[in-house]
């Protein structure tokens, strides 16, 4: 496939490595608004775009893909307040969008385990639940998008939790989340259920960024020749 990398930072470079290993061609690399000027004609030849840029630039890049009929895989986070509008536009314009808050296959399995555990805990109110997420110090958002998804899944499954807050001291009907920022941590999420007598912890640790890059590459291959909106569950389960 001929690929456009929209965002050529840490993730863009990792995806490039995987794409080349899988015999794809990187036709263009966009790392700023200005980069578009020299690549506007190349974009017409692209089979799929993979977007890992910034919350401030992702919507403009998605719109460019929709306008040029280029299927797009979106990994950038913190734009989901606009998700409904983007989904509507995608359908209206008969375009192709694959988005995921987390492209790691392991994290998506972890999402399912989290929901199952919350379901089991509905009949065990002696357990308090809380969450910790650890990421590299450059990460701007807290809690992480992955932590928010995990928290939303707990709230919608576990009857005794109504909301989450970025503060571990909370309990009652509020799920406490602690965000820790340390150097060189790609992403760790720990969910703990604790009673007076024991603790159950489920934990996902990303060892590197490769897992996200492979998932995004698989998503790009998955949407080739398809129309519509896709998420990880459509590809994995």
Q: Which residues are catalytically annotated? A: 135, 139
Contact between 29 and ligand NAD by CB under 6 A: the answer reads no
Looking at residue 53, the DSSP 8-state letter turns out to be -
Using the Cα atoms of residue 206, residue 210, residue 213 and residue 214 in order, give the sign of their dihedral.
negative
Site size with ligand NAD, rule: CB under 6 A: 24
Does 15 contact ligand NAD by CB under 6 A? no
**CA–CA separation, 49 vs 219, rounded Å?**
11
Q: Judged by CB under 6 A, which of 43, 66, 103, 110 binds ligand NAD?
A: 103
Nearer to ligand NAD, 101 or 191 (CB): 101
The distance of closest approach from Cβ of residue 121 to ligand NAD in the complex, given in angstroms and rounded to an integer, is 27
Question: Binder to ligand NAD among 2, 31, 185, 190 (CB under 6 A)?
Answer: 31
Q: Which burial class, exposed, middle or buried, applies to 221 when counting CB atoms under 10 A from its CB (0-12, 13-18, 19+)?
A: middle
- Cβ closer to ligand NAD: 48 or 129? 48
CB 150 within 8 A of CB 189: yes
Asked if 43 is part of the footprint of ligand NAD (rule: CB under 6 A), the reply reads no
Task: Determine which residue in the list 46, 47, 49, 53 makes contact with ligand NAD, applying CB under 6 A.
Answer: 53
Task: Rank residues 12 and 176 by Cβ distance to ligand NAD and give the closer one.
Answer: 12
Token pair in block for residue 173: 């009907």
Site map 162..201 versus ligand NAD, x via CB under 6 A: ----------------------------------------
Query: Residue 202 corresponds to which tokens in the numbers above?
Result: 């489920």
Chain length of the chain: 237
CA distance 214 to 18: 7
Distance CA 205, CA 225 (A): 33
Q: Which residues bind ligand NAD (CB under 6 A)?
A: 6-12, 30-33, 52-54, 57, 61, 75-77, 100-103, 212
């Amino acid at each position: 496939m001929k690929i456009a990398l929209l965002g050529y930072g840490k993730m863009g470079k990792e995806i490039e490595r995987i794409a080349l290993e899988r015999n794809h061609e990187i036709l263009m690399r966009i790392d700023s608004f200005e980069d578009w000027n020299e690549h506007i004609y190349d974009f017409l030849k692209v089979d799929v775009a993979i977007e890992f840029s910034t919350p401030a630039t992702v919507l403009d890049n998605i719109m460019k893909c929709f306008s040029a009929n280029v299927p797009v895989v979106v990994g950038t986070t913190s734009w989901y307040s606009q998700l409904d509008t983007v989904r509507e536009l995608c359908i209206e314009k008969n375009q192709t969008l694959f988005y995921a808050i987390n492209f790691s296959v392991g994290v998506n399995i972890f999402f399912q385990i989290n929901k199952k555990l919350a379901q089991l805990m509905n009949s065990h109110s002696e357990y308090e639940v809380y969450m910790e997420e650890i990421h590299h110090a450059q990460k701007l958002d807290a809690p992480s998008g992955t932590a928010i998804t995990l928290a939303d899944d707990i709230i919608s499954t576990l009857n005794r939790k109504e909301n989450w807050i970025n503060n571990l001291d909370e309990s009652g009907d509020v799920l406490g989340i602690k965000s820790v920022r340390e150097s060189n941590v790609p992403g760790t999420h720990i969910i703990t259920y604790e009673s007076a007598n024991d603790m159950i912890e489920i934990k996902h640790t990303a060892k590197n960024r490769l897992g996200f890059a492979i998932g995004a590459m698989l998503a790009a291959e998955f949407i080739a020749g398809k129309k519509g909106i896709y998420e990880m569950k459509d590809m994995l389960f």
